[in-house]
Amino acid sequence: MVNKQLKKKAQGIGNVPPHYELEIEDYDQKQKKKGQAYFIWKDPKDPEKHITVELGNDGALLTFSTTVRSEADKKLPDAELKLKALQFAAANHPGTFMKFHFQGKEERGQRIRFIYAKMELGLPLPNSGFLIDMTRSGQIVHFLYYGEGHKAEVPKEFVAKEKVVSHYVNTMSLRLMYDVIDGEQAPRLLYEPILPGYSYPADVDEIVPDQHIADERIENGTPLPTLQNTEKIDIYTMLGFTPDMQKVSEKDFGEEMGSTWREGTAPERKDLSIGSYFETRNKNTIKIKTDKTTGKLKAALSFMEQRNTRQCSIEECQRTALQFLYALYPRAAEFFKVNPILIDERGRIRNHFSVWYKEVPLRFGAARIIVNPETGMIDAFMAPDIDPEQLESINHRPDVSAQEARETFLAAFDVKLEWQPDFTAGSVQHYKLVYKPVYPSYIDAHIRKKKRL
């Protein structure tokens, strides 16, 4: 389809009100079969109301979403909602009833989600089929089409399940760490399993990956050095804030408040493309998030233009990151360790400080600080998921022994068959059948109970 036809079809699918303004109109047609058209309309009187439609180059619907809500307050039974979902999918993708199988429904607040996928050997193929979110009154608010997936080759001979279980049991280990689980606010001391980072191929002809089971999510790190110079640091100056910057937007994220600050005026949009949209929104801005209760900085991202090229050394960038960390966490040496630095594709210095307390790490707990060597400024910051000082209130000595934890874990361990995408270079098949480990995600180090995934 030509661009005008795609746009007209998108308007029809989205049922776009006449007074809505087109905010994004973007076409990617470099590959004829995979080309896409992307549109977003918004209500000029209410920016929170918008409609998004994404089409394939042939006009097939890929994505639809809307924040516009109908006034209907009636609640339809699930069976009627499911039928409406199928009718919508079939209207945009004929043959839906024959190609895809119902996988289940999910309650998502005021919405209900229906999931369909293509099946092989009675198992769903990942990234196939479609999903639909609906309100209880029957309004479709989100649709995502994956398609039929790719080739799935059934093994001629299967590896015995007992062999697979034995393989994992003989390579697994448990490690003490702190983690926040089940949506709780405070972390706990847990034994968490360390297993090979792959699923065992179900085909006897497949090669089993190397049995490397190092837990790459937790780096050992080295003790945090103390700062020789303890002068007072202004973290906002280090982020590039200037006195003439103005707050241009603010958003409530629940426990955090986000704000955007800009220097100067926003540039004029060149066109309605996605690239131009983000350039206009981001140029010469600093975006931050702060904790609504404590006021502490939780995240920051700078899009300020570079003003000089003094080219700081790696050591200077590391010191800048340390100064920033200590300014935020005066007792940082008690709770953080230094991990090896990385240099990203833009030449910036990525500093990673993992959280430890009493030689026990915090799962997914790290302060990440990116320093731009051309400005000496902080380009990005992300705080740990929790305030490290919370770990002081936890008994760091386990009541459950390592042997007890292992026995509890093994009693619940199992494997199940599952299709997974195959990204092997040069592979002619797109899915492979594997045995996926199923096991407790943790063993509480203070309470003798297990938690299944």
The per-residue DSSP string of 352-421 comes to EEEEEETTEEEEEEEEEEEEETTTTEEEEEE--SS-GGGGGGS--S-SS-HHHHHHHHHHH-EEEEEEEE
Residue 216 in any domain: the answer is: no
Q: Give the structural domain span for 67.
A: 3-147
pLDDT of residue 30: 59
- Domain shared by 142 and 103, yes or no: yes
- Domain shared by 187 and 305, yes or no: no
- Domain shared by 355 and 429, yes or no: no
> Beta-strand (E) ranges in 204-359?
222-223, 246-252, 256-262, 285-291, 297-302, 336-338, 342-343, 349-357
pLDDT of residue 102: 95
- Domain shared by 308 and 361, yes or no: yes
For the cut 60, the answer to whether the pLDDT of residue 213 exceeds it is: no
For the cut 50, the answer to whether the pLDDT of residue 141 exceeds it is: yes
* CATH number for position 316: 3.30.310
pLDDT of residue 429: 61
> Beta-strand (E) ranges in 253-333?
256-262, 285-291, 297-302
- Domain shared by 286 and 416, yes or no: no
pLDDT of residue 211: 59
- Domain shared by 228 and 196, yes or no: no
| Pairwise CA distance, residues 171 & 410, whole Å | 12
Residue 106 in any domain: the answer is: yes
**Is 313 in a helix, a strand, or coil?**
coil
pTM of the full structure: 0.79
- Domain shared by 89 and 60, yes or no: yes
Residue 215 in any domain: the answer is: no
| Pairwise CA distance, residues 453 & 440, whole Å | 6
pLDDT tens-digit series, residues 430-439: 899 999 999 9
Determine contact, residues 360/177, Cβ cutoff 8 Å.
Answer: yes
pLDDT category of residue 447 using cuts at 50, 70 and 90: confident
Residue 436 in any domain: the answer is: yes
**Is 278 in a helix, a strand, or coil?**
helix
Q: What percent of the chain has pLDDT over 70?
A: 92
Within a 10 A sphere around the Cβ of 337, how many other Cβ atoms? 19
Between residues 396 and 33, the one the model is more confident about: 396
> Which of 96, 113, 147 delimits the end of a domain?
147
- Domain shared by 372 and 418, yes or no: no
Between residues 309 and 349, the one the model is more confident about: 349
Residue 58 in any domain: the answer is: yes
Residue 74 in any domain: the answer is: yes
Within a 10 A sphere around the Cβ of 433, how many other Cβ atoms? 23
pLDDT category of residue 452 using cuts at 50, 70 and 90: very low
- Domain shared by 113 and 73, yes or no: yes
Q: Give the total number of structural domains in the chain.
A: 3
For the cut 70, the answer to whether the pLDDT of residue 112 exceeds it is: yes
- Domain shared by 408 and 330, yes or no: no
> Beta-strand (E) ranges in 253-315?
256-262, 285-291, 297-302
pLDDT tens-digit series, residues 294-332: 999 999 999 988 766 678 899 999 999 999 999 999 999
Residue 157 in any domain: the answer is: no
pLDDT of residue 297: 95
> Which of 346, 367, 393 delimits the end of a domain?
393
- Domain shared by 245 and 332, yes or no: yes
Residue range 112-123: average pLDDT?
A: 95
For the cut 90, the answer to whether the pLDDT of residue 378 exceeds it is: yes
CA angle 327, 333, 334 (to 5 degrees): 120
In the chain, count H helices and then E strands. Answer: 9, 27
- Which residues, in sequence order, are bridge partners of residue 143? 64, 132
pLDDT category of residue 280 using cuts at 50, 70 and 90: confident
> Which of 96, 114, 147 delimits the end of a domain?
147
pLDDT of residue 210: 66
Residue in this structure with the two tokens 């629940």, named with its chain if needed:
254
| Average of per-residue pLDDT values in the chain | 88
Residue 186 in any domain: the answer is: yes
For the cut 60, the answer to whether the pLDDT of residue 353 exceeds it is: yes
